[in-house]
Chains A and B, each alone.
Chain A
Amino acid sequence: GQNIDQPTEMTATEGAIVQINCTYQTSGFNGLFWYQQHAGEAPTFLSYNVLDGLEEKGRFSSFLSRSKGYSYLLLKELQMKDSASYLCAVGDSNYQLIWGAGTKLIIKP
């Protein structure tokens, strides 16, 4: 079967760092994606990892370990506008995206 797990909800403080984990078991693997979704809006693309290691984009970084079926999204210097849901998705053997249920991130002042 195909399964993607991520925590349902996390809380962090403005200015701090938070790590959102994602574990996956899929029938194929063609990369891992992270999306951000603000309440009432569409998901927006954040990052893509296909090789092991860390990809950094400003305040956001994404890490992948294919052998462990594991990824994380690291958000630094948290701002109130980072309050959103973060969706993990895996590209399967047909390049379709299999989605996790998302992690709701709450930022407190």
Chain B
Amino acid sequence: DAGITQSPRHKVTETGTPVTLRCHQTENHRYMYWYRQDPGHGLRLIHYSYGVKDTDKGEVSDGYSVSRSKTEDFLLTLESATSSQTSVYFCAIRSSGGAAISYEQYFGPGTRLTVT
């Protein structure tokens, strides 16, 4: 258990409204990621963070913004939700330090977002 939680777990919202998803980790990992997962597609990276206030875009960043003001929290904001953003959103952290010989990622439980 990598100590990752996401909130909310489910959300239904209307087109045009802003939405913020929260990812919280308890183990002080430097790297955090936001993905979306849709049928027929692999996990697609939206944004990632490599430290407090250090973020960068992934392959599907349009329409999304992120913030990381504390090590433990990584927020994903849909500025004006659209139906194409209906998806399952996963947050992940990257293993690092200690005896780790790889850099696998560990995932939160996911947020199922429906935009109507």
Q: Which residues of B contact A87 (CB under 8 A)?
A: 42-43
Interface range on chain B: under 10, 10 to 19, 20 to 34, or 35 or more?
10 to 19
Interface residue ranges of B5-58 to A (CB < 8 Å): 40-45, 48, 58
Contact of B105 among A45, A50, A102 (CB under 8 A): A45
Q: How many residues of A contact B (CB 8 A)?
A: 22
Q: Mark A residues whose CB is within 8 Å of B.
A: 4, 30-31, 33, 41-45, 48, 50, 87, 89, 91, 95-102
Distance of A30 Cα from B68 Cα, bound (Å): 27
Provide the main secondary structure of the chain B interface. loop
Query: In the bound complex, how far is the Cα of B90 from the Cα of A87, in angstroms?
Result: 15
Cross-chain contact A45 with B106 (CB below 8 angstroms): yes
Select which of A31, A43, A102 is within 8 A of B107 by beta carbon: A43
A-B contact pairs, 8 of them (CB 8 A): A30-B103, A41-B109, A42-B110, A87-B42, A95-B103, A97-B105, A101-B42, A102-B42
